[in-house]
């Protein structure tokens, strides 16, 4: 998605939400910061770029955007909640040393997993999304 305020406003309204300055600011921060920011990083960005939005408001907006499927939550090994502006199917490579998260797409891996579950025929279960976090360390 090309990052501009009009696109951000459209994303919010398309999800059936009222477009507010707070929602625009939070979503803009997530897109501009990249690398799956924490709520604290989002708050730092907003306070540097926009008016002073209350911490509680930022958390409420993050919950609302998550509930509407505009963003996704990513929980790290250290139980730190981070936010992802990419909602299309993808996986994460998580560096335990730097805590960096890199998006990773692999349709072949997805297909292998889907086929595995088709063969296993787990009663009363259907795969609708595959998301994997692969932990390791990035080399320099």
As a CATH number, domain 91-136 is 3.30.1490
The reported pLDDT for the residue numbered 2 is: 56
The reported pLDDT for the residue numbered 31 is: 95
Domain positions in the chain are 5-84, 91-136
Check if the beta carbon of residue 91 is closer than 8 Å to that of residue 131.
yes
Q: In this prediction, what percent of the chain has a pLDDT beyond 90?
A: 69
The strand pairing partners of 91, in sequence order, are 104
- Per-residue pLDDT of 38-64, as tens digits, reads 999 999 999 887 677 899 999 999 999
The reported pLDDT for the residue numbered 60 is: 98
- Per-residue pLDDT of 70-99, as tens digits, reads 999 999 888 999 999 998 989 999 999 999
Pairing relation of β-strands 133-136 and 101-104? Answer: unpaired
The strand pairing partners of 38, in sequence order, are 82
Residue 66 CA from chain centroid, whole number: 8
- pLDDT higher than 80, residue 19: yes
As a CATH number, domain 5-84 is 1.10.10.10
- In 10-137, DSSP assigns E strands to 72-75, 81-84, 91-95, 101-104, 133-136
């Amino acid at each position: 998605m090309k990052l501009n305020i009009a696109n951000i406003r459209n994303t919010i309204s398309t999800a059936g939400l009222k477009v507010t300055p707070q929602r625009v600011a939070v979503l803009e921060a997530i897109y501009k910061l990249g690398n799956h920011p924490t709520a604290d990083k989002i708050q730092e960005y907003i306070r540097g770029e926009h008016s002073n939005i209350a911490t509680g408001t930022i958390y409420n907006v993050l919950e609302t955007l998550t509930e509407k499927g505009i963003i996704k939550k990513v929980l790290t090994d250290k139980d730190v909640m981070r936010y992802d502006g990419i909602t299309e199917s993808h996986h994460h490579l998580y560096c335990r040393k730097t805590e960096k998260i890199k998006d990773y797409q692999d349709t072949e891996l997805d297909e292998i997993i889907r086929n595995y579950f088709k063969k296993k025929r787990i009663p009363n279960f259907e795969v609708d999304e595959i998301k994997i976090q692969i932990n390791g360390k990035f080399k320099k």
